[in-house]
Structure 1
Amino acid sequence: MKELAKYLIRVDAQFIDGQIVPEIAPSEVMRLVNEPNIVVVRTGIPGQLLHNVIEATRAWAATVPPSEEADTFDNNQHKKRLHIAKIQQAPQLFHDHTFDAIMDLDEAHRQTLLAVFDPVRQFWNSLTSNNAEFGIRKGEPYFHPQVTHYPLGGSFFGRHWHPLNPQKVGTILALNQYGEDYHSGGTGYVINDHIVETEGFQDQGDMILFRYDLPHWVSPSSFADRFSWDDPRGRWVSILPFYDPWGAPADNKEPQGWKEQIKVANPDKVVA
C-alpha cells in the first residue's frame, strides 16, 4: 500500500484463478474508501484480457447501430452521448457501450467481456458484502456493465454525483495505458474541498475505487487531437454500476452533506 498524493492511495493486488486478491483485506480497502480516499487497486488482470474487451466491444458495436432512443435498461446498446444530463446538468461527450443483458450476448463476446467483468463483480461483492449476479431484475438493483470510450480531441464527462446506496463504491477499470494509448484525460474528485486528479496515476489494469456519492468528473482529452467517433484511440474504461434504474435518481443538488457523515481515520473525529 502506498500514498500517491493527498487522498490518493494505491493498493497492490494479485490476479489468482480469475479473482482480484488485494494485499489487504476487502474490509480494509473499504475503510480507506470511506475515510474517504480514492483507492487505486493494481488488479493484476493481464493486459491481453483488457485489450480483448476493447476489441470485442468494437467488433460488437460495428454490427449494432448506435441507439438514439431513451435508455430502456433491459438490452445491450451503445450510444454516442453528446448532451447535458437533465437532472445534474452535467455535459457529456463520450461513447458508451452498456451490456445490461450481458448474458444474452453471443458466446464469444460474452466470454470475452466476462473474463474481466466477472472478476470485478466478485471483487465488488467482497467489498460491499453482497452476492449479486449478472442479470436484469426489474424492481430491484442490478448490474449495468459498461465499456466507455473517451475519444481523442475533447471527450469528457462533466462534474456529477450519485446516491451512495446501493452502489456504495464506484469502480473504474483502465482497459488501456495512459501515456501510450492516450495522453490526456482522467477522473477527478472533490474530497473535503480538495481536488483529487487521477490522471497519470492509473495504469492499464488499475481500478479506481471511490465512495459513490463523491462529486467527480472526467477531464477533457486534449483538443490538440482531432475528434472522431470512429478513431479507436483515446481512453477506454470499464465500469460496473449497480442500481435500480426505476428507483430514486440522484438529487439535483450536489450532495455536500456527505462531509458531516464520513468519518476520517480517527473514529472519534468527524469532518466538519
Structure 2
Amino acid sequence: MKEVAKYLIKVDAEFKDGKIVPEIPYDEVMRLVNEPNIVIIKTGIPQETLAKVIAGTRDWATKTPLAEGPDTFDNNQHKQRLHIAKIQQAPQLFHDHTFDALLDLDAEFQQTLLSVFDPMRNFWNSLTGNNESFGIRKGEPYFHPQVTHYPLGGSFFGRHWHPLNPQKVGVILALNQYGKDYTSGGTGYVINDHIVETEGYQDMGDMILFRYDLPHWVSPSSFADRFSWEDPAGRWVSILPFYNPWGTPAEKDEPQGWKTHIQAAKSATSEAAV
C-alpha cells in the first residue's frame, strides 16, 4: 500500500481463481475509501482478458443498432451520449454500452464480459458486505454493468454525483493503458475542497474505488485529436453501478454529507481533547 498523491492510495492485489484479493483486508480497503480517499487496486487481471472485453464489446456493437430512446434499464444497449443531464446539469459526451440483461447475451460474449464483471462484483460484495448477483429486479437495486468508451478529440463527463446508498463505493476498471492507447482524460474528484486527478495514475487493469457521493467527473480527451465515434482509440473502462432506476435520483445540490460528517468528527475529537 502506498500513497502516491494527496488522497490517492495504491493497493497491490493478486488475481487468484478469478478473484481480486487485495494485500490488505477488505474492511481496511473500505475504511480508506470512507476516510475518504481514492483507492487504486492493482487487480492483476491479465491484459489479454481486458483487451478481449473491448474487442468483444466493439463486435457486439457493430451488430446492435444504437439506442436512441429513453433508457429502459431492462435490456442490453449502446448509446452515443451527447446531452446535459436534467437534474445535475452535467454535460456528457461518450459512448456507453450497458448490459442490464447480461444473462441474456450469447454464451461466448457473456463469458467475455463476466471475465471482468464477476471479479468486480465479488470484490464489491466483499467491500460492502453484500451478496448480490446479476439480474434485473424491478423495484429493487440491481447491477448495471457498463463498458464505456471515451473517444479521442474531446469526450468527457461533467462534474456530477450520486446518492451514497445503496452503491456505497464506486468501481472503475481500466481496460486499456494511459500513455499508449490514450494520452489525456481521467477521472477527477473533490475531497475536502482538494482536487484529486487520477489521470496518469491508473494503469491498464487498475480499479479505482471511491466513496460514491464524492463529486467527480471525467476530464476531456485532447482536442488536438480529431473526434470520431467509429475510431476505437481513446479511454475504455468498465464500471459496475448498483441502484434502483426507479428509486430516488441524485439531489440537484451536491451531497456534502460526507464533508459535514468529517467536520463533526473533528469537532468531537477536539472537544474530547480539551
Normalising by the residue count of structure 1, what TM-score does the alignment of the two structures yield? 0.97
CA distance in 1, matches of 2:48, 2:268: 45
Cα distance, 1:17 vs structure 2: 0.3
CA distance in 2, matches of 1:269, 1:254: 26
Q: Give the aligned partner of residue 226 of structure 1.
A: 226
CA distance in 2, matches of 1:14, 1:141: 29
Q: Give the aligned partner of residue 107 of structure 1.
A: 107
- For residues 164-183 of structure 1, give each alpha carbon's deviation from its aligned partner in whole angstroms, at most 9, with x where no partner exists: 00000000000000000000
- For residues 148-190 of structure 1, give each alpha carbon's deviation from its aligned partner in whole angstroms, at most 9, with x where no partner exists: 0000000000000000000000000000000000000000000
Determine if contact 1:160/1:216 at 8 Å carries over to the other structure.
Answer: yes
Bigger helix fraction: 2
Q: Give the aligned partner of residue 31 of structure 1.
A: 31
CA distance in 1, matches of 2:262, 2:101: 35
Asked whether 1:173 is paired with 2:173, we answer yes
TM alignment of 1:154-233, pairs within 5 A: 154-233=154-233
- Unaligned stretches of 5+ residues in structure 2: none
Specify whether residues 92 and 39 from structure 1 end up closer, same or farther in structure 2 by C-alpha distance, changes over 3 A only. Answer: same
Determine if contact 1:150/1:236 at 8 Å carries over to the other structure.
Answer: yes
Determine if contact 1:7/1:38 at 8 Å carries over to the other structure.
Answer: yes
Identity of aligned residues (%): 78
CA distance in 1, matches of 2:269, 2:189: 22
TM alignment of 1:128-143, pairs within 5 A: 128-143=128-143
Normalising by the residue count of structure 2, what TM-score does the alignment of the two structures yield? 0.96
Q: Give the aligned partner of residue 19 of structure 1.
A: 19
The alignment's C-alpha RMSD in Å is 1.5
Asked whether 1:88 is paired with 2:88, we answer yes
Q: Give the aligned partner of residue 52 of structure 2.
A: 52
CA distance in 1, matches of 2:263, 2:50: 35
- Unaligned stretches of 5+ residues in structure 1: none
Determine if contact 1:173/1:239 at 8 Å carries over to the other structure.
Answer: yes
Helix, strand or coil: the match of 1:72? coil
Specify whether residues 246 and 137 from structure 1 end up closer, same or farther in structure 2 by C-alpha distance, changes over 3 A only. Answer: same
Specify whether residues 16 and 72 from structure 1 end up closer, same or farther in structure 2 by C-alpha distance, changes over 3 A only. Answer: same
Determine if contact 1:176/1:236 at 8 Å carries over to the other structure.
Answer: yes
Cα distance, 1:120 vs structure 2: 0.4
Residue 195 of structure 2 aligns with an amino acid whose one-letter code is I
Determine if contact 1:135/1:142 at 8 Å carries over to the other structure.
Answer: yes
Determine if contact 1:263/1:269 at 8 Å carries over to the other structure.
Answer: no
CA distance in 1, matches of 2:264, 2:219: 27
Q: Give the aligned partner of residue 62 of structure 2.
A: 62
CA distance in 1, matches of 2:144, 2:34: 23
CA distance in 2, matches of 1:171, 1:19: 15
Specify whether residues 215 and 264 from structure 1 end up closer, same or farther in structure 2 by C-alpha distance, changes over 3 A only. Answer: same
Cα distance, 1:257 vs structure 2: 2.9
- Matched residues, number: 270
Determine if contact 1:36/1:262 at 8 Å carries over to the other structure.
Answer: no
Runs of 4+ in 1 over 3 A off after TM superposition: 262-270
Residue 182 of structure 1 aligns with an amino acid whose one-letter code is Y
